[in-house]
Structure 1
Amino acid sequence: MVPLFLLFYLNVQSITADSFTSLVHLQQSIDAESDIVSYINTYVRAEFDRLAQLEGLAVELADHHKLLKKGNTERHLSNPVNAFLLTRQMHDLVSDSVDLIESKSQGNTVKYMQSTESLRSRLPSKDDMDGAVLALLRLQDTYSLNTSQLSDSNLGLSSPADEAPPLSGDDCFKIGQTAFLMDDFYHSVLWFQTALEKYEMLDGSLQWVQRKLTSTFDYLNFSLYKQGNIERAISIATRWTEIAPGAQPGTDNLYHYRNELNETGRLYDPYNLPPLQNQQLVTGFAATQEFKKYTKLCQGQQLPKSSRNSKQLVCKYRPIQFSYFPSEEEELHLEPRLVYIHRIISDREIQVVQALAKPKLDRSGVFATNAATPLGGIKTHTRVSKSAWLGDEEDETIALLSRRFARVTGLTVGTAESLQVLNYGIGGHYEPHCDFARPDNPNVFDHGVGNRIATLILYLTDVEKGGATVFPRLEAAVWPLKGGAAFWYNLDENGALDERTLHGACPVLAGYKWVCNKWFHESGNEFTRPCPASS
């Protein structure tokens, strides 16, 4: 659309050029005076309206900021719905303000754009918006939450003060639209239906409500059709054409659906629609039995093997070399051995680690099965967190922790990797994987240190809901407990890859999750964990 001020400029140019050469043309200029007045008035009204909208955005943002500052912002954002709403609101408010201000004079536009440019790196982008939606969908699937629970922000948190406000129809529409654009019609059906329910609670006689209904009908009818619900697609398309008779796509869809239904020999009965079909299409690892075990373990279910195994597990104190205090170990699995070590890091040390890591946090990556993997790995939705690396030389606390880890595990840290610190965001997770390098990816680690022989994961925070480290093949789960750590060997005593150590980080449903990884390598540990005599 051409801006109003440009229309005004173009019209002025067209009536003044060469008008002085002819009284007729000059007369036409005089006659056009009323048009000029009309254009100016239209422009002024549009400007007042634009400025009023801009002022409204400023008031809305100020009120929201005051509300956030009154409470505990960290606790507020630990709720994934609150985090999603803040991401969406900040993204939309800035986008709306830019859209409004870009229509102003060129000088003010440039000035505003320059002043906001430095903020853009600190504000949610479109990718952030899409990521927040994917996080909610991941939480919905992993923890079997129905759409009503999520849209009503009913996560069953321990404190009512931590609950988020219900999602609006627009919020639900945005989630459905994001799923739709990824051809995820399973989720788009769920969320467009919820959006429709919320819009139907509004005054349907208002034009802006009708526009929202029309948009929802547009997406929902096709989503239903793609999921095999042709009668229900006809029902929605019919409502679409009733509320917007001139909507050609709705008319075309209705014609197509009816023809297709006639070919099946079925009759359309608006009062007796078939049950909703909405099967979720899962492929790859998500379709395996191991992934199903992963999901059940994330939900806190106890599987048969873990139930049998638990009868033989014990908690014990184990002496530590050069230390007056023994290690408090809790066995979680016997073969391969998986233990939880209590109170391995203090609150003060946790604060130091977090303070050192925060300025360095960057999106975590994964290693591909080829030598072309870039430094830091490949960014992917299978791993959603930010990480930083801390070497012993950076702070005495890090060096002290490394020495403690060596005493507790009995392994040398001379060839170990730097301490990796991770912070998980909305729905942050890491799908099941093994920590060792496979033969087809030998260049992941530095030459001469060998493979990752063992893993130590430290939990720097308690997590209110979700966030467990689960082992599908062992049917075991480790729940985050601040100050503790999980330890296991990735290789067996002969140095072979132990595929049973497949593990994943469950999505964080509520709360903050900070962890550290310390990976030990084969080199230097030949005598700390020698091969069995029979090998």
Structure 2
Amino acid sequence: MVKVSDFIFLLILAKPILSESLKELIEFYQGHYYSASVLGLVDLLKLEQEFMENFTIYTDALQEKVDNLNNYLDALKRPNHTTHNEREKFVSDPLNAFGLIRRLNQDWPKWQNYAQKSVGLVQINAMEKILSKKPKLFDMNESLRSMHRIEVTYDLSAKDIARGVLQSTQFNYTLSVGDCLALANHTLEIGNLNSSLQWFQEAVKQFPDNYEDISSSLKEDQLKEFATVVATRRIQMMNQSLGNETLHKLVRNQLQNLTKKDMENFISSKLVQWHRGSVSKLENANTQTTAHNIGCRGLFPKRKNLVCRYNSTTNAFLKLAPLKMEEISRDPYIVMYHKVLSDREIEEMKGEVKEWSNGWTGLEEPMEIVSLVYWTTDESKFRDRINQRISDMTGFKLEEFPALQLANFGIGGYFKPHYDYFTERLRTLDANNTLGDRLGSLLFYAGEVSQGGQTVFPEVEVAVEPKKGNALFWFNDFDDSSPDPRSLHSVCPVIIGSRWTITKWLHHDPQVFVKPCSPRILKRSS
């Protein structure tokens, strides 16, 4: 994973960019995004709680005002005087007449002033300030992409997700009408028409029969917004040369007289029609199963003849305190060390962070911000202890590059398939690299992830569960230091949990005497 500041530097070297465009790019990649990490989402939850507290105080103040007005009106209750004679008889009583004159002269002006007086101004100002920190459009789009990624990767149905059922586990949360319509709109935009239809059907199930209160009215507005998107798409498909003004007018004319039921039928019929028309190409493409997805679903064949053992041979210290090691693959070499990071050390790790940066997926398009990252460039007891443990596990020297990368991933945290060894492009851009290629990678799992988040090696059909406290180690190069394409790996979207990692890349040059190059042993073809 690359830090944003590194990316900007490399991008400047890679190609000339107009200063204004570069400025916008830097602002984007250095922006604060809640969706980039669970830490950011925790901050967002606190923000909503603060908003709700102010909103509650504000509504209580409004209710108190309404109660006071109603109490005064209740005190004035009297029979309805519907005829002139009845009114005349009422005001002929001097008590009634006096009270009438006094109220209109003294009381009602005061009650009018009371009714006009604003309440909860402190709370209104506080809520405005909170909403100035609301999620950006990037956060909204990333959350939509993440939800769809979870849906596709694990082959989940919209029906189950909407009802809070994830991989046969029922959770105490369901998606609202607005949630389902937003996902229907997103999947329509990316061309997954079957998914869009399913999400819309889940939204329809929650529509009220009548729109009598403000909550129901908001749902109707959301339905109209999606109907507008569908109508716009339909008209553009028939005539792509229309200007915006003409297009908007045709859309308004098509929808203006439609009832709620008419809009539901209109949207459903168009989604079904488009889905049927594209099922032979678009939907087949959308449902193709990749090796990454198969691994995330736990469908790789189980490997045999692998063992778990105590590693006591890497260095002398392990003879006294051997480490629990599980073979994941012998060729290529992938092993898991169990219980090598304690809860206390994980809390200590979080205390190391001074300032987070956005972590992104690499130089290849599309570039995505997938986490917050921090490099431990300053010396500390924690860093020294973890590096020593890595040296105990691998036998490698780490003095020349002691920094560790800490990361916390966001909603549906994942990482697309990639190699850790340097590509030719990165090698060219990082011409001052004195450490050599990344011959090996070591990854500590430092977060509690109960569903999803596996590390997948699609080329060798291996998927590793991210058990908290464990560490995964593998080689990226062959023995002759040439890149091993089988080291291609990815991270499955996290369904439930917070993915924290400590990553260490082990470079070639400092290990030249520890692990010297040797000819690659090629297997004979039978």
| TM norm structure 1 | 0.62
Q: Which moved more, 1:177-186 or 1:437-446?
A: 177-186
CA–CA distance in structure 1, aligned partners of residues 229 and 130 of structure 2: 41
Query: Does 1:407 find its partner at 2:418?
Result: no
Deviation at 1:178? 4.2
The answer for the alignment partner of 1:216 in structure 2 is 223
Deviation at 1:531? 2.0
Give the alignment partner of residue 151 of structure 1, picking from 144, 159, 162. Answer: 162
Give the alignment partner of residue 367 of structure 2, picking from 334, 356, 380. Answer: 380
The answer for the alignment partner of 1:321 in structure 2 is 315
Query: Does 1:188 find its partner at 2:175?
Result: no
CA–CA distance in structure 2, aligned partners of residues 119 and 222 of structure 1: 26
Residues 363 and 411 (structure 1), Cα distance of their counterparts in 2 relative to 1, 3 Å cut = same
* Bigger Rg over Cα: 2
Deviation at 1:420? 0.8
Give the alignment partner of residue 296 of structure 1, picking from 291, 294, 297. Answer: 294
Deviation at 1:274? 7.8
Deviation at 1:126? 3.0
Residues 208 and 534 (structure 1), Cα distance of their counterparts in 2 relative to 1, 3 Å cut = closer
Unaligned runs of 5+ in 1: 1-76, 231-245, 254-269, 370-377
The answer for the alignment partner of 1:312 in structure 2 is 305
CA–CA distance in structure 2, aligned partners of residues 386 and 301 of structure 1: 30
Contact 2:455-2:489 within 8 A present in 1 as well: yes
Contact 1:347-1:483 within 8 A present in 2 as well: yes
CA–CA distance in structure 1, aligned partners of residues 122 and 191 of structure 2: 38
Residues 155 and 111 (structure 1), Cα distance of their counterparts in 2 relative to 1, 3 Å cut = closer
Secondary structure in structure 2 of the residue aligned to 1:198: coil
**1:8-157 mapped onto 2 (5 Å cutoff):** 120-121=132-133, 123-155=134-166
Secondary structure in structure 1 of the residue aligned to 2:182: helix
Contact 1:87-1:128 within 8 A present in 2 as well: no
Query: Does 1:248 find its partner at 2:244?
Result: no
Contact 1:189-1:223 within 8 A present in 2 as well: no
Deviation at 1:221? 8.3
Contact 2:323-2:338 within 8 A present in 1 as well: yes
The answer for the alignment partner of 2:508 in structure 1 is 522
The answer for the alignment partner of 1:464 in structure 2 is 450
Query: Does 1:496 find its partner at 2:496?
Result: no
The answer for the alignment partner of 2:346 in structure 1 is 350
Q: Deviation string for 1:24-82 (max 9, x for gaps)?
A: xxxxxxxxxxxxxxxxxxxxxxxxxxxxxxxxxxxxxxxxxxxxxxxxxxxxx98x9x9
The AA in structure 1 aligned to 2:462 is A
| TM norm structure 2 | 0.63
The AA in structure 2 aligned to 1:360 is E
CA–CA distance in structure 2, aligned partners of residues 348 and 335 of structure 1: 34
Deviation at 1:181? 5.3
Contact 1:430-1:505 within 8 A present in 2 as well: yes
CA–CA distance in structure 2, aligned partners of residues 462 and 181 of structure 1: 34
Greater relative contact order structure (CA < 8 Å, 6+ sep)? 2
Secondary structure in structure 2 of the residue aligned to 1:441: helix
Residues 300 and 92 (structure 1), Cα distance of their counterparts in 2 relative to 1, 3 Å cut = farther
Contact 1:88-1:129 within 8 A present in 2 as well: no
CA–CA distance in structure 1, aligned partners of residues 126 and 218 of structure 2: 34
CA–CA distance in structure 1, aligned partners of residues 51 and 275 of structure 2: 33
Tell me the percent identity: 25
CA–CA distance in structure 2, aligned partners of residues 251 and 517 of structure 1: 57
Contact 2:181-2:222 within 8 A present in 1 as well: no
The AA in structure 2 aligned to 1:148 is K
- Deviating above 6 A after TM superposition, structure 1's stretches of 4 or more consecutive aligned residues are 82-85, 87-94, 108-115, 205-208, 224-227, 280-283, 286-289
Contact 1:83-1:426 within 8 A present in 2 as well: no
